[in-house]
Amino acid sequence: MDDIELIHLDEALLVVRKPAGLLSVPGRGPENADCVAVRVQRQVPDALIVHRLDMATSGLLLMARGAEMHRRLSRLFAERQVDKRYEAVVAGCPHAQAGEIDQPLICDWPNRPRQMIDPERGRPSLTRWQRLEHDADAGTSRLALEPVTGRSHQLRVHLLSIGHPILGDDLYAPAPWRAAAPRLLLHACRLTFRHPADDRPVQFEDAAPF
C-alpha cells in the first residue's frame, strides 16, 4: 500500500502501521495531500479513518470499512472503549515507577499547531504512564503510555509538563533533546477493543522500532 504495512484486514476493519513523518489524513494545500488514508484507499476503497496519529508519531492506526463500521468504531472511541498504549523514550528518569498526568489542554493559537496546559480554559486530559526501563548512560527512560483522553499532542505536552520531553520532538523538546533522535520517539504499539461486527475482544500489537 505504498509503504503502508498492513497488520490486519477483515470485512469490517483494517489496522495499518503508520510510518513517522506521514499525515493520517490530508492536510491543507496540495503539498499535504499525501497521507495514510489516501494510500490505503488506493487498495481498499471503502477504508475510512477512525482516529489519527500525529504526523511525527508512528504505529497502529485503525480504519473502518464502510460507513456503518465507521459509525460503530467511532462510537467505541467516543465512549473510551478502545484501550490505546504507546511507548516513548523520554529525557531523564521519573522518580516514581508509574503515575498519572491530569492537566487540561487547549490549542496555543498564536503558535499553532502547538498545544498548551490551561487550567481555566483547557479540556480535561488524562495520561497514565509506567517506566519500563532507564538508560543511565544516555540519561533517558522508556515509558509505556496510556492516553485516557485523546487530545491533540496530549502525550507530548503532558510529558513535557513533568520535565520529561520525548526525544526528537521538534515542537516541544528543548534543543538538546530535540537533536537526540532523528525522529519523534513515540509509537502507538497496542490497540484493544471489541470487534464491531461480532463484539469479540481483539487486540493488535506492534513493537516500537526504536
Residue type at 201 in one-letter notation: P
Q: Are residues 37 and 25 in contact, defined by beta-carbon separation less than 8 angstroms? A: yes
Determine the straight-line distance between the first and last CA of the chain, rounded to whole angstroms.
23
Known catalytic membership, residue 54: yes
Q: DSSP for 54-110, please give it.
A: -TT-EEEEEEEESHHHHHHHHHHHHTT--EEEEEEEEES--SSSEEEEE--EEE-GG
Q: Rounded distance, CA 130 to CA 120, Å?
A: 28
Cβ of 99: how many Cβ atoms within 10 Å? Answer: 14
Residues in a beta bridge with 84: 191
Cβ of 136: how many Cβ atoms within 10 Å? Answer: 8
Among residues 54, 108, 169, 170, which one is catalytic? 54
Residues tagged active-site: 54
